[in-house]
Amino acid sequence: MALCTSTKFQSFSKWVACSVFSIGQRFDHCSGRREVGQALGNILQQSNALQLPLDNEESIEQGTLIPRIDLCHIGSASVLGRRQMNEDRLLACRLSSHHLLLGMFDGHGGCAAADFSRALFPGCVRSCLSALRNSTRQSFRDLPPDSFERVLGYAFLQVNNLMSRHFFHYAPVRERTWSGTTATVVLLLHSQQLIVGHVGDSRALIYRRGRVQPLTVNHDPSSVVPLTDILKEDDGGGVTEPERIVACGGMVIPNSLGVPVVNGRLGMTRSLGDAELKAYGVSAKPHLTSLTVRHSRASFLALVSDGVTHVMSDEEIASSIAACRTPQDAAKFLVECALQYGSNDNASALIVPFGSWGKS
């Protein structure tokens, strides 16, 4: 499902790509010269990359070519799989002329928490950005990345608190007790600064120069790697995820399949919602990462649910996306691959193209 479509733009782009590709095939077959096919292949790659319009203001400010990433360039797809209900929710919205907000929410115990998170995150992030601007009296360009990490971190806590309050007063007992969600949320500033916040087991990946790099780590009860708790004044002190659960009075025990879960119920140690497990150490504090996108090197950002990652490696995900002509084609192809590979869960993908989209 496309978040934003432009039929004329997509039709023209496909016509250009198909035309150049066909010419490359004819010349290669007729002349037998591999060089001609490779040269035309390079033209095709450049035409794919140039589908992103130039952000004139950012390019002048940075002294280099910066593409403008609009919502209609982002690919998205979500499939039911073998479940009775699709509990995955995707988010892509523009907070301002220079800021995009993206999100992947994989709900459990119903879709209430995922729906609530998708609806509340834009407003909470805007509110936190406004508070940051008022407190610093500086341009966002002059602020270090950790300022925006704090913004996103506080937005996670704000969404979780609002959700808990709403569920306590208005939600049925089942939703109040069981509903929760992963959250992988990305703030894209000025088309080149990425701030990633994450709880749960959805995943964010960036593909640069033919190599894939995960930007998130799974928060699960089997993790033995200490993770710092992310708001800077609240250091986790080298405590692992299961150690935190046990220290808060919770239990990490295997379910009927032998998979460790919290209190015999939840397969993750951080989430939004799951109000009754918060007292046992299931945290809403996100793991935060920031990096600068070099569009001459970076091809795309991918947000995927565990319906994809349970059956595909990071490399398989990246190569499947890189083989496609458009982000929308890539998102659809990826979730279809997950189903073919035997995924039983909802499978969802959000693909954001960068300046090197279409280049090898």
The pLDDT assigned to 117 comes to 98
Neighbour tally for 192: CB within 10 Å = 21
Cross-strand bridge partners of residue 67: 54
3-state secondary structure at position 73? helix
The pLDDT assigned to 115 comes to 98
DSSP 8-state symbol, 171: S
Poorest-confidence range of 72-86, 133-147, 158-172, 226-240?
Answer: 226-240
The pLDDT assigned to 34 comes to 39
Split at pLDDT 50, 70, 90, the class of 150 is very high
Residue 31 tokens, joined? 């002349």
Residue 225 tokens, joined? 């790697």
DSSP 8-state symbol, 142: G
Which is more confidently placed, 52 or 148? Answer: 148
- As a whole-number percent, the residues of the chain with pLDDT over 70 amount to 82
Say if CB 101 and CB 121 are below 8 A apart: yes
CA proximity to 292, closest of 141, 172, 174, 173: 141
The pLDDT assigned to 230 comes to 45
With 70 as the cut, is the pLDDT of residue 310 above it? yes
Residue with token string 């907000």: 101
Name all domains of the chain by residue range, CATH numbers in brackets: 70-353 (3.60.40.10)
Q: Please write down the long-range contacts of 169-173, taking CB distance under 8 Å and 24 or more positions apart.
A: 171/112
The pLDDT assigned to 237 comes to 58
Query: What mean pLDDT value characterizes the chain?
Result: 85
Split at pLDDT 50, 70, 90, the class of 236 is low
Cross-strand bridge partners of residue 108: 180
The pLDDT assigned to 28 comes to 39
Distance of alpha carbon 294 from alpha carbon 191, whole angstroms: 10
Residue 97 tokens, joined? 């002329």
Split at pLDDT 50, 70, 90, the class of 62 is confident
Distance of alpha carbon 203 from alpha carbon 304, whole angstroms: 5
Distance of alpha carbon 311 from alpha carbon 330, whole angstroms: 17
- Phi, psi (deg, nearest 5) at residue 295: -65, -20
By CB atoms closer than 10 A (0-12, 13-18, 19+), residue 201 is: buried
Q: Determine the residue type at 352.
A: V
pLDDT tens digit sequence for 247-280: 999 999 999 888 999 999 999 999 999 999 999 9
Residue with token string 């894939």: 212
Which is more confidently placed, 18 or 139? Answer: 139
Split at pLDDT 50, 70, 90, the class of 228 is low
Which is more confidently placed, 338 or 28? Answer: 338
Alpha helix ranges (H) inside the chain: 7-31, 34-49, 56-62, 112-136, 145-170, 173-178, 241-247, 306-309, 314-322, 327-340
